[in-house]
Chains A and B, each alone.
Chain A
Amino acid sequence: QQQVKQSPQSLIVQKGGISIINCAYENTAFDYFPWYQQFPGKGPALLIAIRPDVSEKKEGRFTISFNKSAKQFSLHIMDSQPGDSATYFCAASIGADKLIFGTGTRLQVFP
């Protein structure tokens, strides 16, 4: 009930391509779905977050797509750049705290 499943575990994308990471959750009480980016040796940094009253949210090159009926959400990184190479975590929670994280996706963007 509390799990958040994330895929793929790793992703290799060419510069300029689209990176897509998927997450699925079980607890229908979750109402906050953030994505965090983590570089080696650093703490996670919030990229973008969505609440279930909208199906899509876009901020710059980053877009969250949310499917409430399927209990799935995904992160799309458009025009991927080498500087985007990092580990990405999806998370879910009730009320934006006590986050339940996915297992992470290691993204490598090659020039």
Chain B
Amino acid sequence: ETGVTQSPTHLIKTRGQQVTLRCSSQSGHNTVSWYQQALGQGPQFIFQYYREEENGRGNFPPRFSGLQFPNYSSELNVNALELDDSALYLCASSFGGTSGRGETQYFGPGTRLLVL
């Protein structure tokens, strides 16, 4: 186990709704990255937060947004849910040092989101 926890484990929403997923990072880590893993695919980078600021973003629309809190936990928010948003959402924590360039990323178990 990595010490990275995510909640909830499973979630069912309908198209057009909004969802918030939560992640608690491993002790000592100040960087959180979020990934989307569609069924049968590799994880895709959504964005990263370092010291409460967004530190890089993948090819995802603005309706995917996030927050990082002073204790380095993080939230992923998705507005106007679409059917294609159904996936496993993974959070990974790492120690970014002073430059924001991370070391090894440790993944949580993920939140499985189903959009109907």
Assess A98 versus B107: contact at CB under 8 Å? Given A43-B2, A103-B41, A104-B41: no
Q: Please measure, in the bound complex, the distance between the C-alpha atom of A49 and the C-alpha atom of B106, giving whole angstroms.
A: 13
Number of A-B contacts (CB under 8 A): 64
Report how many residues on chain B are interfacial, defined by Cβ distance under 8 Å.
28
Q: Please measure, in the bound complex, the distance between the C-alpha atom of A43 and the C-alpha atom of B90, giving whole angstroms.
A: 7
Is A101 touching B105 in the complex (CB atoms < 8 A)?
A: no
**Which of B11-19, B78-86, B95-103 lines the interface with chain A?**
B95-103
Is A44 touching B107 in the complex (CB atoms < 8 A)?
A: yes
B25: Cβ under 8 A from any A Cβ: no
Assess A34 versus B109: contact at CB under 8 Å? Given A89-B42, A99-B43, A104-B40: no
Is A95 touching B90 in the complex (CB atoms < 8 A)?
A: no
Measured CB to CB, the residues of B under 8 A from A are: 2, 4, 31, 33, 35, 40-45, 48, 56, 58, 90, 92, 94, 96, 101-110
